[in-house]
Amino acid sequence: MCWETLLDYGLRSLGIGERLLPRADFTFCQQVVLIGSGMIWNVYFGILALISGFLLATLVATGKASDNVFLRKPAEWFVFVFRGSPLFIQFFFGYFLFLSLKQVLPAAEPFSSAWLGALVVLFLNTAAYSAEIFYGGLQSVPKGDLDAASAYGLTGWRRFRRITWPTMLRLAWPAYTNEAIFLFHATTLVFFSGFPARSQKGDALYYASYFADKTFNPFVPYPILAGYFILLTLCIIGLMGFVNARLNRHLPQAATRRPRLLPQIIR
């Protein structure tokens, strides 16, 4: 019985399967399947924003640590603007900005839909938060490591690539794990902030609130959503812990710091 529901609604968030959402006699199975289907979007936004944001964050962090004013100031402002304002407002502003852009430039049309527009906002947002973390990492790269690199004749790009950057990553990784977790949590804001869920293709929270509105019973859909997110959080901690172990593999085991489930720093 639940198998049928899975076939009907398993990929509903992508528009595949049954067109109409359930309207009456909601079963537990339907709620689990549809909310799980919505998780596809949360994972999509989370992973793509994390990967693209990682690249920009490295650039911005080095810019912020640079001696050149023309690199440092823009990087500082970028971090300040995106860390100093609510993501919710950034989503709204981004959406209406893209709408206006569409009037001028028809090619900008995809930006006004969630899959691209919200992704861009999330990308810039996580880049700013991660850049601040990486900047902190850059500042705490041990002086001795850099001196040793110079003594070996490593300079410029080669020194950055082989010494500074890996050390920065190693130092920043526990905080970055934390940022990744909060980024995935932040993806739930997408469909509540202007970006439309066309033909009811939404994320996990969208479906959870759909069920809560229809059944007027929040005690089923939200715990399901919470369960999914706790699972997702554990997966992220596992994956990031694996990377962490790799980054620290040259160190004596006792010196490594594992990412913790409930770290102190939050975004």
Query: Rule CB under 8 A: which residues touch another protein?
Result: 24, 26, 80-81, 84-90, 92-93, 96-97, 99-100, 185-186, 188-189, 192, 205, 208-209, 212, 214-219, 222, 225-226, 229-230, 233, 261-262, 264-267
Residue closer to another protein (CB basis): 70 or 216: 216
Smallest separation, CB 161 to another protein (Å): 33
What are the tokens at 155? Answer: 């300079």
Smallest separation, CB 200 to another protein (Å): 17
Residue closer to another protein (CB basis): 148 or 261: 261
Residue closer to another protein (CB basis): 89 or 251: 89
Smallest separation, CB 233 to another protein (Å): 5
Nearest to 189 by CA among 92, 124, 80: 92
Q: Are 147 and 108 in contact (CB under 8 A)?
A: no
Residue closer to another protein (CB basis): 76 or 154: 76
Residue closer to another protein (CB basis): 38 or 137: 38
Q: Are 165 and 246 in contact (CB under 8 A)?
A: no
**Residue whose token pair is 């500074």:** 164
Residue closer to another protein (CB basis): 47 or 97: 97
Residue closer to another protein (CB basis): 254 or 262: 262
Smallest separation, CB 32 to another protein (Å): 16
Q: How many helices (H) and strands (E) does the chain have?
A: 10, 0
Amino acid identity at 63: G
Residue closer to another protein (CB basis): 123 or 184: 184
Smallest separation, CB 216 to another protein (Å): 5
Smallest separation, CB 160 to another protein (Å): 30
List Cβ neighbours of 127 (8 Å cut-off, separation of 6 or more): 52, 53, 54, 56, 57, 60, 78, 82
**Calpha distance 154→149 (Å, rounded):** 5
Smallest separation, CB 93 to another protein (Å): 4
Smallest separation, CB 164 to another protein (Å): 25
Torsion of CA 77, 82, 83, 88, to 10 degrees: 160
Q: Are 232 and 184 in contact (CB under 8 A)?
A: yes
Q: What angle do CA 30, 39, 202 make, to 5 degrees?
A: 80
CB neighbours (10 Å) of residue 219?
8
- C-alpha dihedral sign at 163, 254, 132, 190: positive
Terminal C-alpha separation, the chain: 42
